Every structure is written in structure tokens, then in C-alpha cells.
A and B are shown apart, each in its own frame.
Chain A
Amino acid sequence: DSGVTQTPKHLITATGQRVTLRCSPRSGDLSVYWYQQSLDQGLQFLIQYYNGEERAKGNILERFSAQQFPDLHSELNLSSLELGDSALYFCASSPNRPLAGGGNEQYFGPGTRLTVT
């Protein structure tokens, strides 16, 4: 158990709908990362938040948005869903002090499996 929690575990919804995925980082971690794992694709970095502020952006669609709240939990909002958005969405958190020159080791949650029908 990494200490990162994600809800819900599974989500099935229809095209055109909007969903919210929730992540609670490990106790004390200020950074939260969101990743998408689609069929035949590696883990794709979407976005990072640090202490409530957006810090880095990856291949995140304009239909997707995220935020991090004062209690440090984060939500990923996916709107106007398409079939191709079906994927496993991971949240990860990292310690506040990066490893010496090595970047932060990331701790992954169990993921939310989204199925768009």
C-alpha cells in the first residue's frame, strides 16, 4: 500500500458525459501527478500540482482539467467524454524534498478504471 488513495476504483459512463476522479496523496506529500494508461500506450503524464498550484503540464486534453485543494487532495475532471478516453487513470504523489539530483520518487495510487460506452 503506497498510501495514495483514489476513488472511484471503476467508473462506467456514456460518451458526452463528465466525470471527476479523486486522489488523496500520501500524508505530507505536496506534489500530485496524474497519468493516463490507455491500451497499448505507456503511462502518459497529464499534469502535476504542487501545494495547490499547477507546476507542469503534459499531454492533457483541453477537455480535461485538474485542481488541488487546500487539504492537498486533487481532482481530475474529464468532460465531453469520448470512447478513446477509456483508460486507467493513475494519481501519484511525491515527497517534498527531491532526491539529490534525481527528481522525486513517485508513489502511485491504485488507479481509476474509466470505461466510456
Chain B
Amino acid sequence: ILNVEQSPQSLHVQEGDSTNFTCSFPSSNFYALHWYRWETAKSPEALFVMTLNGDEKKKGRISATLNTKEGYSYLYIKGSQPEDSATYLCALYNQAGTALIFGKGTTLSVSS
């Protein structure tokens, strides 16, 4: 069973702080890793798709890195803003590439 772990479970920062969280997964049989952003009362929205060891992706103030050999991905947010408050989900495709297995997410709260 593919197990995707995210840490921390929740995080509270002040506006302007930079922060990062971790997604851990079994390093064997890696296919692809996706990051999603899920705001309260909305639906999850795709942020990044990562496939290769050493991948780095960036979208505005949010970036992500991938290490498939050691089984982790980091999501970074630079200069957090209140609108960044959301749950950030990490998901891995199973080996067959047919199903996304989600972690429980990291809930970020940014205070102004």
C-alpha cells in the first residue's frame, strides 16, 4: 500500500514569513508526485506535477522540490500572505499510473 505522509499537520505563520512543509513517500516504484492547494469551501486545485529526481517547480511565491531517491518533496512559500491560507495536499500516482494517493495535507494559516 502506497503511504503518503505530510508534515506538519498544521502550521500558523505571520504575514511575510517564509515557510515550508514536507511530503514523504516510499522511494521505490515512484511514478509522479502532485501538489494541490485546497482552500476552505472550494475544491482542490493543482499546483505542480513533479516527475524527475531533482525537479524544481515554481509558481509565483510558491516552489517545490523533489527527491525521489530519498522519498520526499518540499513545498516552499516565500513571504506568506493571508490568501495563502489553505490546506496543501501532496499526492502520488500509484505504480500503474491510474490512481492518485493523497496525504492528509498540511493546513497553513497566515495571520496579517
Contacts and interface: CB of A to CB of B under 8 A. Distances in A.
Interface of A: 2, 4, 33, 35, 40-45, 48, 55-56, 58, 90, 98-103, 105-111
Contacts of B45: 2, 108
Interface in B39-75: 42-46, 49-51
Q: 4 tightest CB-CB pairs across the interface, nearest first?
A: A56-B98, A108-B43, A103-B93, A43-B102
A48 B97 CA distance: 12
B96 A110 contact: no
Interface of B: 4, 31-32, 34, 42-46, 49-51, 89, 91, 93, 96-105
Contact of A109 (B43, B93, B96): B43
B97 A103 contact: yes
Given A105-B46, A106-B46, 9 more contacts: A2-B45, A48-B99, A56-B98, A58-B99, A90-B44, A102-B34, A103-B34, A103-B49, A109-B43
Contact of A101 (B34, B51, B96): B51
Contacts of B93: 102-103
A106 B98 contact: no
A101 B32 contact: yes
